[in-house]
Structure 1
Amino acid sequence: MTRGRKIQATAELEVRLLREGITESVHHAQAVICDDRGRLLLCAGSPETATFARSVLKPFQAIAVTASGTLERFNLSDRDLAIICSSHRGTIEQVRQVFNILWRSDVDPTALQCPIPDGKQSRLQYNCSGKHAGMLAVSQQLGYPLNNYLHYNHPVQQLILSKLAELLKNPAEEFIPARDDCGAPTYFMQLRQLAWLYAQLASGGNLDMERILRAMTHHPTMVAGEGEFDTELMRLTEGELVSKTGAEGVQCIGRVGEGMGLAIKVMDGAKRAKYAIAIHVLRQMGWISPSIAENLAETYITLGRYKRLEVAGDLSML
């Protein structure tokens, strides 16, 4: 995307943890906004900063499900598709939804290769089990082997990679893979690329992604869970934003219908800082109302009786 030209960085965003008004800790973050054509609109830091996409990649891994006829073959619902895109909490409702995908696809739950969470009994309870169930369902639909669906060269992983390459107009062989904690491949990507992906997801111009967008925004509880940032943001904005969090300080949000995407990376990986950044940027962009910003701030910025988060800095044009 930026081959042959280095883009100059702007000032980073800073998140301060204040204890009774006195700075106790500081996090630095970068953020990028792109449109659905990949054009850089606003930035704080460098749009070329790279990070592993982690769980923000899940809606695009799910394209293998929507593009392969798997939904129709096994009569999967939007709730099923939402849990495929999720980082869920392992509630009974969410676990049942993952099981439903496997049952309808005639895949035994023992085929799941994600870990068993600490203190739990089943791989179905792992927060990425929906993604894994989706990969198994696609493999069943297309006649791929089930026992090695996480291998880099497995056809379902190559299908996912080809879809990413198509969306980002970048050769598949240039993507740098690594194992996510769940064992599935993730990719080392620029913030600009992540923002572009979410702009495309939010634009509704691609039928395969439009179904994913609808599933996530119509069933936000499946995507994360009660009290989780993605669920609360999508619920409060009533489908105007699509949101997905990732580990190590990564957060992506799309402005539905307007083809704009936001990607955030907190450089030290702090979870609390990325939510404060997201609220700050969404308010600055006018993507959320003051009342929604205040509602979110009560949970994600005011951290207790004596401490709160404060964000300094703004996105600017390069």
Structure 2
Amino acid sequence: MTLSSSFGSSRPGIPPLEVRLLREGIPESSHRVHAVVCDQRGRVLMRAGDPQRLSFMRSAQKPFQATVFVSCGAADMGDSSDRGLAIACASHAGTPAHAREAFKLLWQADLETEQLQCPVPAGATSPLEHNCSGKHAAFLAACRRMGWSRETYLLDDHPLQQEVRKRVAELLALPAAELVSARDDCGAPTLQLQLAQMALLFAHLGASQQPDLERLSRAMLAHPELVAGEGRFDTELMRHSHGQVVSKGGAEGIQCLSRVGEGLGVAIKVEDGSARAKHAVALHLLEQLDWLMPMTLDELRGRFLQPAPHLQLQVNGELRFD
């Protein structure tokens, strides 16, 4: 059974979630949010809104892009530690510590910073400071290991990108030719997927049954400070989950989660692309799914649901069984 036919059986009429911004208790703004929980077989277990909604996966795809870096042996060429694997999956803050880890991937593969094709951020001096530099460094290391062109590694028809597409397609039980991609802001291809397909990928990521994915998820949990940065959502959530929840967000309102060892994945899409709304919904769903302790949730809510003393984010609705 393909994903499309499996997901097509979902019941209509389960509304999306709503996130409201309250200013001293008075509603000011609102966001519509779709969310879905899938298991490793691609079955939609719970949802709010449309599990077939299409969106680009953006940076939530990074752990799956990094699988080529691991599987081809490039991650072991210079004895890359878990820190190197974590930065390969990162959307980091561009701090000196983050840039240093991305540089280490290049140095271990005997590559130069100038070969990175991610942009130099505004106000920065090096592409190493770009939030995707770890991903790009891992791309280049894989190309060096496999003897692929390092000048064209971002092209959709490059062997590296075709290998990424192939691996994602295998996890989704789809022909690779069916996957649609477009250029991400860093220059790399990003896949357009159904929300339920994103949840399925994260079900695999946390299941600890695919050696390459298990190695990457373990590295992300061991070094959450490298995956995003101090005070950022993915870092704080993984740190406070004590190794139980893998979290990776993407631009335009994408947030994906997995529960380690359970083979369940969650994908969230905010219609208007709001980051604050996806974080609010993620915490709301983690409570409903009972994936975090109440004390932990309270601490995270204090960080991410109250952007200012007079402001509060409120989530209305819940996941329902499909």
Identify the TM-score tier after normalising by the shorter chain: over 0.9
Equivalences for residues 22-61 of structure 1 within 5 A: 22-61=26-65
Q: Hey, what's the Cα distance between the residues in 1 that align with 2:185 and 2:4?
A: 29
User: Which whole-Å deviations, capped at 9, do the CAs of 1:93-142 have from their partners, x for residues lacking one?
Assistant: 11000000000001111000000000000000000010000000000000
Contact 2:35 2:47 in 1 (8 A): yes
1:129 matched residue in structure 2: 133
Amino acid at match of 1:138: A
Query: Number of matched residues?
Result: 318
Secondary structure of the structure 2 residue equivalent to 1:2:
helix
Supply the RMSD in Å over aligned alpha carbons. Answer: 0.9
Amino acid at match of 1:47: P
Contact 1:98 1:133 in 2 (8 A): yes
Give the drift of 1:317.
Answer: 1.3
Structure 1 residue 224 corresponds to structure 2 residue 247? no
1:239 matched residue in structure 2: 243
2:68 matched residue in structure 1: 64
Give the drift of 1:6.
Answer: 5.3
User: Which whole-Å deviations, capped at 9, do the CAs of 1:149-197 have from their partners, x for residues lacking one?
Assistant: 0000111101111100111011111111100000000011001000000
2:208 matched residue in structure 1: 204
Q: Which runs of 5+ in 2 are unaligned?
A: none
Which 4+ runs in 1 deviate beyond 6 A? none
Q: Hey, what's the Cα distance between the residues in 2 that align with 1:153 and 1:18?
A: 47
Secondary structure of the structure 2 residue equivalent to 1:74:
coil
Contact 2:77 2:108 in 1 (8 A): no
Q: Once structures 1 and 2 are overlaid, which stretch shifts more, 70-79 or 287-296? A: 70-79
Structure 1 residue 90 corresponds to structure 2 residue 77? no
Amino acid at match of 2:53: T
Contact 1:53 1:246 in 2 (8 A): yes
1:149 matched residue in structure 2: 153
Q: Hey, what's the Cα distance between the residues in 2 that align with 1:83 and 1:210?
A: 15
Give the drift of 1:302.
Answer: 1.1
Q: Which runs of 5+ in 1 are unaligned?
A: none
Secondary structure of the structure 1 residue equivalent to 2:287:
helix
Give the drift of 1:7.
Answer: 3.0
Equivalences for residues 160-171 of structure 1 within 5 A: 160-171=164-175
Percent of paired sites with the same residue: 48
Q: Once structures 1 and 2 are overlaid, which stretch shifts more, 271-280 or 297-306? A: 297-306
Structure 1 residue 3 corresponds to structure 2 residue 5? yes
Q: Hey, what's the Cα distance between the residues in 1 that align with 2:51 and 2:11?
A: 9
2:179 matched residue in structure 1: 175
Q: Hey, what's the Cα distance between the residues in 2 that align with 1:265 and 1:175?
A: 19
Structure 1 residue 296 corresponds to structure 2 residue 300? yes
Q: Hey, what's the Cα distance between the residues in 2 that align with 1:300 and 1:24?
A: 18
Secondary structure of the structure 2 residue equivalent to 1:3:
helix
Contact 1:7 1:48 in 2 (8 A): no
Contact 1:88 1:127 in 2 (8 A): yes
Residue of structure 1 aligned with 2:77, choices 73, 79, 94? 73
Q: Once structures 1 and 2 are overlaid, which stretch shifts more, 70-79 or 282-291? A: 70-79
